Amino acid sequence: MKRRSNTVVYFFIFALIVANFFIYSKIFTNSIPEPSYAVSDGNINDNGDSGTDTPDSSDAPGNNQGSALSPDYKYITANVSDTYSGSLVLVNSSHEFKFDNVPTVVEKSVSDSVYYNKTSSYSVKDTNVTMDTVAISALNKMMDDFYAHMGNKKTIIITEGLRTFEEQQEILAQKIEQYGADQSIAQQPGFSEHHTGYAIDISVYIDGVMDTFTGEGEYSWLSENAYKYGFILRYPEGKETKTGISYEPWHFRYVGTVHAQYMHDNNLTLEEYIDTLALYPFESEHLKVTDQATSAQYEVYSVAVTSDGTKVPVPSALEGTEYTLSGDNAGHIIVTVKKAEG
């Protein structure tokens, strides 16, 4: 009798469990909404998206997908090779110069003999000293004014300009023989600024006698005023930890007047300036510079180029607005915009 009673209880419990299962299943099924195939205001595409062009991170400049720009700007397409050319390329022990680079939108440097293109205000060691042609024009203006500052006395000679890989090998061997294997004295081939065509070394040259340029006394005019012509003292004293090179008062580098002025005013080396420019992408506030000589207004911004086909925003063809491009040899294109007057 007791066993039968237990059987009845078990059966009753089992029946309750089954009944609850069916009730719960019905409720749960009714709570799931039916799939919707209603068309929204946009058209459904193959991915189930509405087709509305909603900006996201992939639409930002520096990516391969475009986004809507203001009418003041347009996109141009750049390749990684463009980051290796231009007057702002950084070349040092950790940034190798790219020989035989072919840029697509950045203008490639064109070098020529300084000797055959100079003015009469300075001397050049020989006809083999070459430099970027734009930089030669700036050098002529600077040397003409220095010549006047010196009372029309010719006292400067250009001893070094663009160097090939092989020429840098020879220079390094000479330096090692003189000073030992000190990386702060001379760079390895491929890592010298002289490969760019924008760097020069100068010496004092009076009555046929050449002497080291120390930048002292009346010669300090050059380091104090070089920025007005687009040049910087590339390896200044006290900045050795930034440049990795010992103080060289004779080594000047052309970067353009806008950039040289900002670097001069803020006591920046090229390494520090390139780091600074990375903080001014197109999407954010741009670096603003007023040219002291002309009062022209400039804006500078940086665009990361991580792959070929990267979209770079530049000003549209607005009257009075000009822009230039340069790579930095650190993964970016630097856009320098001269704003229209008024």
Q: Which residue numbers are catalytic?
A: 248
Structure tokens at 63: 């990516």
- Residue pair 261/291 in contact by the 8 Å Cβ criterion: yes
Residue whose structure tokens are 């229209």: 340
> 195: buried, middle or exposed (CB in 10 Å: 19+, 13-18, 0-12)?
buried
- Residue pair 62/313 in contact by the 8 Å Cβ criterion: no
Residue type, 7: T
Identify the helix (H) or strand (E) that includes residue 35: none
Give the distance from CA 179 to its chain's centroid: 33
**How many other C-beta atoms can be found within 10 angstroms of the C-beta atom of residue 19?**
10
For residues 111 and 129, what is the distance between their CA atoms, to the nearest angstrom?
Answer: 10
133 Cβ contact partners less than 8 Å away, ≥ 6 residues apart = 110, 111, 112, 117
Sign of the torsion angle spanned by Cα atoms 149, 153, 154, 156: negative
Helix (H, G, I), strand (E, B) or coil at 195: helix
Residue type, 234: R
- Residue pair 326/89 in contact by the 8 Å Cβ criterion: yes
